[in-house]
Amino acid sequence: MTNPVLDFFRKNSCQMKVLEKHLLTTALCDFQHVSIQELKKNLLGRMSEAERIAHRVYEYLHDTILYEFDAWAVSASQTLQKQAGMCFNKSNLMIALLRASGIPCVYTLFWIGKDGFRFTSDSEMFEKIQDRTVHVYVEAYLGDKIGWRRFVDTSLDTHLRCVLQKQGYEPFQNILTDLPIERFATAEEVIAWRKKYKESIGAEDSITKVEMEKSNKNLRKLRDNS
C-alpha cells in the first residue's frame, strides 16, 4: 500500500542547485547576532559533520523552543530570546543556526487545511484562519552524498506533541497533497510571497496579537496540566 504523504514528498523532493543565496544572512535570518553565535558554540561545539549538526539543531528546536503563535516578521535572534515561535519562526531559527555552520538551507512550504490548527488555536482565532494555509519547514543541503534533506516537523515542541497526540492529533493529517511545494532563499521572500498571495485572494491579516496570546495561554495550560 502506498503512502500518499511520502509519495508527495518524493514527488516534490528538492533538486535545486546550491547557490550563495542559500547561505545568506538577512535582517530576519540574523545568524551573525551574538546570541545565535553563542548558541551555536554551546550547542554544537566542534561538531563539523553537516548531518550531525542538522539533527542536533532539529532536536534543539523540538526540545527547547516552544510552539506558540507569533508575528511573521520576527528575527531568529528574537525567536531565540522568546524561546517560542510558530513554524516559520522556528524554521528561521534553525536556518540561522545551520547557515552559521556553513550549511545551505531553503525555506520550504506546503499547504494544509485549517483543521490542522484545531488543536492549537482558540475558537475565535480558528474562525479567522483561511481554509488553506501553509506550513513552513527547512530543507538543508548536507553534502553531495546526502543532498537536500527535509526537516518537516518545525512546529510542535516535544511536550506539546505528546499532549496533543493523546487528544487525537496526527501529523500530516491535513496536508493538501494536490498543491505544489514552494521554496525560498530568505525569510523576507517568504513574507513577500505570503503578502502577495493574501492580496490575490482578497484576504487580510485579521488575527490580532490578543487572539494569538489567548491561544498561546491555552497551549501553556495544556503543557502545565499534563
Sheet holding 148-151, edge to edge: 148-151, 132-141, 105-113, 182-184
Range of lowest pLDDT (72-76, 139-143, 164-168): 164-168
Q: Residue 225: what pLDDT?
A: 87
Q: In angstroms, rounded to a whole number, what is the distance separating the alpha carbons of residues 43 and 103?
A: 15
Q: Which of 225, 209, 226 is nearest to 68 (CA)?
A: 209
Q: Which of 138, 38, 25 is nearest to 81 (CA)?
A: 38
In the numeric block, the cell 540574523 is attached to: 30
C-alpha cell at 55: 539533527
pLDDT tens string 30-59: 999 999 999 999 999 999 999 999 999 999
Q: What are phi and psi of 47, to 5 degrees?
A: -55, 135
pLDDT tens string 101-132: 999 999 999 999 999 999 999 999 999 999 99
Residue 1 pLDDT class (50, 70, 90 cuts): low
The average pLDDT across 214-225 equals 95
Residue 158 pLDDT class (50, 70, 90 cuts): very high
- Note whether 79 and 85 are within 8 A (CB): yes
Q: What are phi and psi of 134, to 5 degrees?
A: -120, 150
The DSSP-derived string for 147-174 is -EEEE---S--HHHHHHHHHTT--TTTT
Q: In angstroms, rounded to a whole number, what is the distance separating the alpha carbons of residues 200 and 183?
A: 19
DSSP state of 146: T
Strand pairing report for 148-151 and 132-141: antiparallel
- Note whether 142 and 54 are within 8 A (CB): yes
* Whether pLDDT at 224 is above 90: yes
CATH architecture of 4-224: Roll (3.10)
Q: Residue 18: what pLDDT?
A: 97
Neighbours of 18 (CB within 10 A): 13
pLDDT tens string 183-215: 999 999 999 999 999 999 999 888 999 999 999
DSSP 3-state of 111: strand
